[in-house]
Protein backbone atom coordinates (compact mmCIF):
# COMPACT_ATOMS: atom_id res chain seq x y z
CA UNK A 1 0.00 0.00 0.00
CA UNK A 2 2.81 2.44 0.88
CA UNK A 3 4.58 1.64 -2.40
CA UNK A 4 1.43 2.51 -4.36
CA UNK A 5 1.09 5.86 -2.53
CA UNK A 6 4.75 6.68 -3.19
CA UNK A 7 4.34 5.96 -6.92
CA UNK A 8 1.21 8.15 -7.04
CA UNK A 9 3.09 10.99 -5.31
CA UNK A 10 6.00 10.68 -7.78
CA UNK A 11 3.62 10.66 -10.76
CA UNK A 12 1.83 13.75 -9.40
CA UNK A 13 5.16 15.53 -8.89
CA UNK A 14 6.29 14.62 -12.42
CA UNK A 15 3.04 15.93 -13.92
CA UNK A 16 3.43 19.15 -11.95
CA UNK A 17 7.03 19.55 -13.16
CA UNK A 18 6.04 19.00 -16.78
CA UNK A 19 3.16 21.48 -16.44
CA UNK A 20 5.50 24.05 -14.88
CA UNK A 21 8.04 23.45 -17.66
CA UNK A 22 5.38 23.91 -20.34
CA UNK A 23 4.16 27.12 -18.69
CA UNK A 24 7.71 28.51 -18.53
CA UNK A 25 8.26 27.66 -22.20
CA UNK A 26 4.98 29.31 -23.27
CA UNK A 27 5.81 32.42 -21.27
CA UNK A 28 9.32 32.47 -22.76
CA UNK A 29 7.96 32.26 -26.31
CA UNK A 30 5.44 35.00 -25.58
CA UNK A 31 8.10 37.16 -23.94
CA UNK A 32 10.50 36.63 -26.85
CA UNK A 33 8.36 38.96 -28.96
CA UNK A 34 9.59 41.81 -26.77
CA UNK A 35 12.98 43.36 -27.53
CA UNK A 36 14.43 42.12 -24.23
CA UNK A 37 16.87 39.22 -23.96
CA UNK A 38 15.20 35.93 -23.01
CA UNK A 39 16.98 32.63 -22.34
CA UNK A 40 15.70 29.16 -21.52
CA UNK A 41 17.90 26.80 -19.49
CA UNK A 42 17.36 23.05 -19.74
CA UNK A 43 19.26 20.40 -17.82
CA UNK A 44 22.23 20.82 -15.51
CA UNK A 45 25.05 18.46 -14.68
CA UNK A 46 27.66 19.02 -11.98
CA UNK A 47 30.91 17.77 -10.54
CA UNK A 48 31.44 18.32 -6.82
CA UNK A 49 34.97 19.39 -6.01
CA UNK A 50 35.03 18.33 -2.34
CA UNK A 51 32.10 16.10 -1.33
CA UNK A 52 31.31 12.70 -2.79
CA UNK A 53 28.11 10.71 -3.38
CA UNK A 54 25.93 13.74 -4.14
CA UNK A 55 23.40 14.16 -6.94
CA UNK A 56 25.08 15.44 -10.10
CA UNK A 57 22.09 15.48 -12.48
CA UNK A 58 19.81 18.40 -11.62
CA UNK A 59 16.86 18.52 -14.08
CA UNK A 60 17.05 22.32 -14.29
CA UNK A 61 14.25 24.19 -16.05
CA UNK A 62 14.66 27.96 -15.86
CA UNK A 63 13.85 31.15 -17.68
CA UNK A 64 15.87 34.33 -17.75
CA UNK A 65 14.21 37.49 -19.01
CA UNK A 66 15.58 41.01 -19.07
CA UNK A 67 18.23 40.15 -16.45
CA UNK A 68 15.93 38.24 -14.08
CA UNK A 69 16.32 34.48 -13.54
CA UNK A 70 13.76 32.02 -12.12
CA UNK A 71 14.07 28.26 -12.12
CA UNK A 72 13.41 24.86 -10.61
CA UNK A 73 15.96 22.07 -10.13
CA UNK A 74 16.86 19.04 -8.03
CA UNK A 75 19.73 20.05 -5.75
CA UNK A 76 22.78 18.03 -4.79
CA UNK A 77 20.88 16.50 -1.85
CA UNK A 78 18.04 15.31 -4.14
CA UNK A 79 15.60 17.97 -2.94
CA UNK A 80 13.38 20.04 -5.20
CA UNK A 81 14.68 23.61 -5.17
CA UNK A 82 13.64 26.98 -6.60
CA UNK A 83 15.86 29.97 -7.36
CA UNK A 84 15.21 33.61 -8.21
CA UNK A 85 18.07 35.97 -9.03
CA UNK A 86 19.19 39.13 -10.79
CA UNK A 87 21.91 38.77 -13.43
CA UNK A 88 24.96 41.05 -13.58
CA UNK A 89 27.00 40.44 -16.73
CA UNK A 90 30.13 41.56 -18.57
CA UNK A 91 30.82 40.75 -22.23
CA UNK A 92 34.02 40.58 -24.27
CA UNK A 93 33.66 39.58 -27.93
CA UNK A 94 31.90 36.18 -27.94
CA UNK A 95 32.32 35.43 -24.22
CA UNK A 96 30.02 36.52 -21.42
CA UNK A 97 30.79 36.28 -17.71
CA UNK A 98 28.73 37.35 -14.76
CA UNK A 99 27.06 36.50 -11.51
CA UNK A 100 23.52 35.70 -10.42
CA UNK A 101 22.62 37.26 -7.06
CA UNK A 102 19.39 36.16 -5.42
CA UNK A 103 17.78 33.51 -3.25
CA UNK A 104 17.29 29.75 -3.40
CA UNK A 105 14.82 27.57 -1.49
CA UNK A 106 15.22 23.83 -1.04
CA UNK A 107 18.34 23.38 1.08
CA UNK A 108 18.06 22.52 4.78
CA UNK A 109 20.99 24.76 5.70
CA UNK A 110 22.61 27.45 3.62
CA UNK A 111 25.95 25.61 3.67
CA UNK A 112 25.40 21.85 3.57
CA UNK A 113 22.59 19.59 4.72
CA UNK A 114 21.29 18.46 8.11
CA UNK A 115 17.97 16.81 7.11
CA UNK A 116 15.87 19.52 8.76
CA UNK A 117 13.20 21.69 7.10
CA UNK A 118 14.11 23.57 3.95
CA UNK A 119 15.18 27.20 4.17
CA UNK A 120 15.52 30.18 1.89
CA UNK A 121 19.19 31.02 1.46
CA UNK A 122 21.16 33.75 -0.33
CA UNK A 123 22.61 32.78 -3.69
CA UNK A 124 25.69 34.03 -5.58
CA UNK A 125 26.49 32.01 -8.71
CA UNK A 126 29.33 33.15 -11.01
CA UNK A 127 29.16 31.89 -14.59
CA UNK A 128 30.75 32.03 -18.03
CA UNK A 129 29.09 31.30 -21.38
CA UNK A 130 29.59 31.65 -25.11
CA UNK A 131 27.46 34.17 -27.01
CA UNK A 132 25.41 31.93 -29.32
CA UNK A 133 21.78 30.95 -29.87
CA UNK A 134 22.41 27.63 -28.10
CA UNK A 135 25.42 27.42 -25.80
CA UNK A 136 26.72 25.74 -22.66
CA UNK A 137 26.84 27.82 -19.52
CA UNK A 138 29.38 26.88 -16.84
CA UNK A 139 28.54 27.92 -13.27
CA UNK A 140 30.16 27.62 -9.84
CA UNK A 141 27.47 26.73 -7.31
CA UNK A 142 28.90 26.24 -3.85
CA UNK A 143 31.53 23.51 -4.23
CA UNK A 144 30.13 22.24 -7.53
CA UNK A 145 31.00 23.16 -11.10
CA UNK A 146 27.81 22.85 -13.14
CA UNK A 147 27.04 22.97 -16.86
CA UNK A 148 23.64 23.81 -18.33
CA UNK A 149 22.32 24.35 -21.84
CA UNK A 150 21.25 27.96 -22.52
CA UNK A 151 18.88 28.59 -25.42
CA UNK A 152 18.34 32.17 -26.58
CA UNK A 153 14.70 32.76 -27.51
Q: Give Cα 21 to chain centroid, integer Å.
A: 12
Q: Could you give the domains of the chain? A: 2-152 (2.40.160)
- How far are the Cα atoms of 20, 61, 91, 136 from residue 65, in angstroms, in the given order? 17, 14, 17, 18
pLDDT 10s digits, 91-132: 999 999 999 999 999 998 887 778 788 889 999 999 999 999
pLDDT band at 35 (very low <50, low <70, confident <90, very high): low
pTM: 0.75
Amino acid sequence: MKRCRARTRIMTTNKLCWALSALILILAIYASNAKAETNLFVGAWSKHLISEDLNEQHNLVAIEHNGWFAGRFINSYNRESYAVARKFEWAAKDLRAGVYLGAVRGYTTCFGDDNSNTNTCPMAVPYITYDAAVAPQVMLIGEAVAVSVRIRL
